[in-house]
Amino acid sequence: MDGTGLARRIVADAAAAAADLRERTSTSPCLATVLVGEDPASVTYVRMKQRRCAQAGITSRHVALPASIGTSELVDTVAGLSEDPSVHGILLQHPVGRHIDERAAFEAIAPHKDVDGVTMHSFAAMGFGEPGFVSCTPGGIMRLLDEYGVELAGRHAVVIGRSAILGKPAGMLLLARNATVTYCHSHTRDLSSMIRQADIVVAAVGRPRLIKGDDIKPGAVVIDAGYNAGNVGDVDFDSAAARASLITPVPGGVGPMTIATLLAQTVEAATRQLAGA
Amino acid sequence: MDGTGLARRIVADAAAAAADLRERTSTSPCLATVLVGEDPASVTYVRMKQRRCAQAGITSRHVALPASIGTSELVDTVAGLSEDPSVHGILLQHPVGRHIDERAAFEAIAPHKDVDGVTMHSFAAMGFGEPGFVSCTPGGIMRLLDEYGVELAGRHAVVIGRSAILGKPAGMLLLARNATVTYCHSHTRDLSSMIRQADIVVAAVGRPRLIKGDDIKPGAVVIDAGYNAGNVGDVDFDSAAARASLITPVPGGVGPMTIATLLAQTVEAATRQLAGA
């Protein structure tokens, strides 16, 4: 499954919508990126997101905070962005440091600016099928599945991983589309036999090549949302590809879809806010 | 599994805590019950909850609204109770009528008064392991499982049903305790073979005797959260009991635990609010 090509089209659509918005309102969509500390991977991620924003005609405003910042200062900073009418979307780069209450910081993002889909409100909205922004990676996965016409209703989706921004919301979105959903994780006994039942496998656990071809039911659809050191996914691509009907590569599968979803949701947020809706 | 006996002990504890609170603050915990229309089953449920409140020393304030009420009036009423310092918990009896946006009405309940665990905030709190109130039936199920020492970590729990106040949060609570969790529902293909894999079955679908003994893996724990006409659960008790290691009856299993959880959470809410916490 070609995430790169689909993401390019989504970003082009977002760019067109951003240009249209700029023409109508003289305002560009603005994404605030908040980075705590200088973790090299996080610095790289944020830069990449800013670059993609620029390419799509989205302004980004970067807020760099020292690693020593406390929870209350971070919460205040994020809350200030939530109230700032010139900011339409907020991305708080994870992780923020162990001494900080990350949940409190995420919750300072107003739901209508939560274009990264990390707040409790956004999670519940995904769970209940209410309006709201989706977590970007799960949202990107759903878009890929739809693009390739993968039938979801009544099919068994096995999600490996249960993080708040990836595994859990991915399961909720699949459940909302009437898949039978199983959540597996580090405590799951006989993981292979669980995965072997799956019509749709979503690997979201962050362990390089954990899932092998032998684990894949012939004809299954395999989504690799893992991203480990050395550009390696959670799935052993070659052996899995031999059995899967569709599979996402790493890189070039889920990764580009995550950023595309972020950009599309930022433009959507700006459009709504500038319409006063 | 004896829900009646365990519920009695929980209610006794709540009553003692309510008495203690009354002595310290001269205030009784107060649960506001909101009923829209006169659906006979809803009238009965609300009366039962009020009676149990009275037995536990919890004041209940009943708000009866005509079936013709609109969403905005209902939202205003609930929001008023959220702001009223003499009310500590709010129960909005489901269903509220098809012409009303039930989600909007639920969301008017302040999270710190959501003793029935129906708001999006409470759902996300269950999903993320954050502080908050649990949905009463799933919370009661977890308490029963703990009372009987049922090991959850690594075991496969199959939840049949995915409603916002029962199936979905039940799965989230089991996942938080490290069970492998599968959500089944009306679209699930070959439901019997899914259930047959379960170490723990949670039936929460509202279809009388849908699940038979043949569906139960020998030694499984069976929780019947169904409640259908004629006091019949979702599980065919006799055939399932012959194979299960533990099973809840209907009535006398999950039902009393739901109300006990409501009362316990009301006293807890009052305790926190009166401490100004």
Cα separation, A88 vs A80, whole angstroms = 12
pLDDT, residue B173, reads: 98
Cα separation, A248 vs B236, whole angstroms = 43
Tell me the CATH class for B18-112.
Answer: alpha beta
Instruction: Say whether residue A98 is in contact with chain B using an 8 A CB cutoff.
Output: no
Is the predicted pLDDT of residue A276 greater than 90, yes or no?
Answer: no
Catalytic site positions of A:
49, 93, 116
Tell me the CATH class for A22-110.
Answer: alpha beta
CB contact under 8 A, B121 and A125: no
Lowest mean pLDDT of A229-233, B73-77, B89-93, name the range: A229-233
User: What token pair was written down for B260?
Assistant: 């006990």
Residue B49 a catalytic site member: yes
Q: Selecting from 3.40.50.1010, 3.30.565.10, 3.30.1360.70, 3.40.50.720, what CATH number does the domain A136-255 have?
A: 3.40.50.720
pLDDT, residue B227, reads: 85
pLDDT band at A140 (very low <50, low <70, confident <90, very high): very high
Using DSSP's 3-state secondary structure scheme, residue A90 falls into strand
Q: Report which of residues B276 and A87 the model is more confident about.
A: A87
pLDDT in tens, A57-72: 999 999 999 999 999 9
User: Could you say which of A125, A181, A189 has the minimum Cβ distance to residue B120?
Assistant: A125
Residue in chain A closest to B107 (alpha carbons) equals A121
CA distances from A208 to A157, A200, B139 (A): 21, 19, 36
pLDDT band at A277 (very low <50, low <70, confident <90, very high): low
Is the predicted pLDDT of residue A252 greater than 80, yes or no?
Answer: yes
Mean pLDDT of chain A: 97
Residue in chain A closest to B132 (alpha carbons) equals A120
β-bridge pairing A246-247 and A221-224: parallel
Is the predicted pLDDT of residue B277 greater than 70, yes or no?
Answer: no
**Percent with pLDDT over 90 in chain A:** 97
pLDDT, residue B219, reads: 98
Q: Where are the domains of chain B?
A: 18-112, 136-255
Same fold, A22-110 and A136-255: yes
pLDDT, residue A13, reads: 98
Max CA pair span of chain B: 57
pLDDT, residue A34, reads: 98
pLDDT in tens, B144-199: 999 999 999 999 999 999 999 999 999 999 999 999 999 999 999 999 999 999 99
Best probe of the A interface among B180, B186, B192, B199, by most A CBs < 10 A, is: B180
pLDDT, residue A227, reads: 85
pLDDT band at A218 (very low <50, low <70, confident <90, very high): very high
Instruction: Say whether residue B94 is in contact with chain A using an 8 A CB cutoff.
Output: no
CB contact under 8 A, B180 and A182: yes
- Arithmetic mean of pLDDT, B192-210: 97
CB contact under 8 A, B178 and A162: no
Cα separation, A163 vs A158, whole angstroms = 14
Select from B164, B120, B183 the least CA-distant residue to A175. B183
User: Could you say which of B168, B175, B194 has the minimum Cβ distance to residue A180?
Assistant: B194
Is the predicted pLDDT of residue A170 greater than 90, yes or no?
Answer: yes
Instruction: Say whether residue A217 is in contact with chain B using an 8 A CB cutoff.
Output: no
pLDDT, residue A266, reads: 98
CB contact under 8 A, B154 and A180: no
Q: How far is A176 from chain B, CA to nearest CA, in Å?
A: 9
Dihedral angle computed from the Cα positions of residues A142, B192, B253 and B88, in that order, rounded to the nearest 10 degrees: 10
CA distances from A34 to A70, A92, A105, A262, B231 (A): 14, 5, 11, 14, 55
Is the predicted pLDDT of residue A208 greater than 60, yes or no?
Answer: yes
Do A73 and A13 form a contact (C-beta atoms < 8 A)?
no
